[in-house]
Amino acid sequence: MSRPAERPTEGLPPRVTVVGSVNLDLVARVDRLPAPGETLTAHGVTRVPGGKGANQALAAARLGGRVRLVAAVGDDPLAGEALTLLRAGGVDLAGVRISDDAPTGTAMIQVDDDGETTIVIDAGANATLAVTPDELDADVVLTVLEVPDETVATAMAASAFTVLNAAPARPVAGDVLAGLDLLCVNAAEYGELAAHADLDDVVAVAITHGAAGAELRRRGRVVAQVEPPPVDAVDGTAAGDAFTAALALGLATGLDDEAALRRACRAGALAATRAGAQPSLPTRDEVDVP
């Protein structure tokens, strides 16, 4: 049974702790995604700060949260580059460790003309991340599956509104799922998790369907379905991260299910209209339009 979510202190933005990954993304633009065994010529390669944990931390900060990131990077030049936008965005980086044994994580991303992506990740220092309960004093604790299982379990046992973005997909222990306040997945990730656990036991599950929108289920019952605003997609890399951060903040601060889901779909859609993971993340003023 999940604990009831506590509301943030009245008048103050919610305190959000993100336990997650930091990567430097190497992004190649291509006309279309290659078939197996095929070689294509890119239109250029850019280096962009990324990592699902870092993306969601910056998204939450841009959407009005007071955000702290617990993560790990390598003792290398990529680390400073990967943390640049987080630092500029006001995310508290005191919980970021520097690993002497592993490099900063990287992601190799291909983006086609329709904004569709393929992504390959080298975890690097993200695979070394551990967290202690005393680092989880927050209104919202959010984590992702780009860090070790033990770290995910510790984060999701926090006395807060707990959110798991179960990406990249892999089986998650039943006791971790049972303790969640919110699980965020795309349709493929939902199928992967449902093959190993009964997701109807989770308090709330948000399932995204790309351009078709998203649905929110509570104990297996659909309580809200929303279509995203029409946009011209450029890069979908961080759309799910913007969605997760917006939905977590909305539900934790008392928005009703449909309003929170609609806001999250708007955030995800806006993130898909710009190139790069963190540069694409929308602000509160952009998301909270009439």
Per the annotation, does 52 bind a ligand? yes
Question: Is 209 annotated for ligand binding?
Answer: yes
Please tell me whether 54 is known to bind a ligand: yes
**21 alpha carbon, distance to own chain's centre:** 9
Is 26 labelled as part of a ligand binding site?
A: no
Has 270 been labeled as part of a binding site?
no
Binding residue per annotation — 213? yes
Whether residue 212 is annotated as binding a ligand: the answer is: yes
Does 38 appear as a known binding residue?
no
Residue 235 is assigned to a ligand binding site: yes
Give Cβ neighbours of residue 77 (< 8 Å, ≥ 6 apart). none
Q: Is position 241 annotated as part of the catalytic site?
A: yes
Establish whether 237 is an annotated binding residue.
Answer: yes
User: Annotation-wise, does 126 bind a ligand?
Assistant: no
Is 206:183 a contact under the CB 8 Å cutoff? yes
Which among 92, 139, 181, 241 is annotated as catalytic? Answer: 241
241 annotated to a ligand binding site: yes
Residues making up the annotated binding site for K(+) are 235, 237, 271, 274, 276, 280
Binding site residue list: 23-25, 51-55, 146, 186, 208-213, 235, 237, 240-241, 271, 274, 276, 280
Provide the annotated binding site for substrate: 23-25, 51-55, 146, 241
Binding-site members for ATP are 186, 208-213, 240-241
Please give the positions annotated as active site: 241
